[in-house]
Amino acid sequence: MAELLLVRHGETEWSRNGRHTSWTDKPLTARGEHQAAVLRPLLAARPVGRVLVSPLARARRTAELAGLRDAGVEPGLVEWDYGGYEGVTTAEIHRTRPDWFLFDDGVVPGPAGHPGESPEEAGARADRVLARIGPWLADEDGGDVVLVGHAHFLRVLTARRLGLPPAAGALFRLDTGSVGRIGTEHGRPALVAWNAAGSPVVPGQHGRAGTAVSV
């Protein structure tokens, strides 16, 4: 079977500051663009067959810089709707809800059009994305399937792909500009590599990336 590669977008100002970012479409920082660009050799080493990307600009720019061409836009790959916690840090939420944890508790309602999502709702959306790509993953000759999106939703999707409840996404930390890889073992989905990033620029190479970490 083909393997599933999950790419989190590069750094934005809000991700750097720990602010929950779903529909607010912040651009990549200079560091975020670099994180995306150094993924190019890592992903070029894979037999990529299909690419889907979140409609948000930070994800689409990451796919472009990482060399992922002909990406289809998948609305279901948008980040977890944080509702009233959009733009708010975990530390700020803990001032009034000291035991709050996203993967267990979800969020509070936000402005019109953004009621927020519970873990179960995020999980149901991940299941729909997985149903769409299921035939591609079953095609042994079709190449890897790459999804470019956002941290918390990709973590939920990982849990669901592995047959775990949505809350188990908490176990899969995914940094900006990093890649996770889900393959199979004995016909069952299995984690193969996780949170891999491209190599940093090596001093003296005038901005060229070094050898990528394998995924």
Decide if 9 is catalytic.
Answer: yes
Chain Cα centroid distance, residue 189:
18
Burial (CB < 10 A; 0-12, 13-18, 19+), residue 148, is buried
Which residue in 9, 20, 34, 150 is the catalytic one?
Answer: 9
Contact yes or no for 191/208 (Cβ under 8 A): no
Q: DSSP secondary-structure letter at 199?
A: P
Give residues with Cβ within 8 angstroms of 134, minimum separation 6.
Answer: none
Decide if 206 is catalytic.
Answer: no
Which residue in 79, 86, 117, 152 is the catalytic one?
Answer: 79
Contact yes or no for 174/180 (Cβ under 8 A): yes
One-letter amino acid identity for 69?
R
CA dist 51 and 203 (Å) reads 32
Active site residues: 9, 79
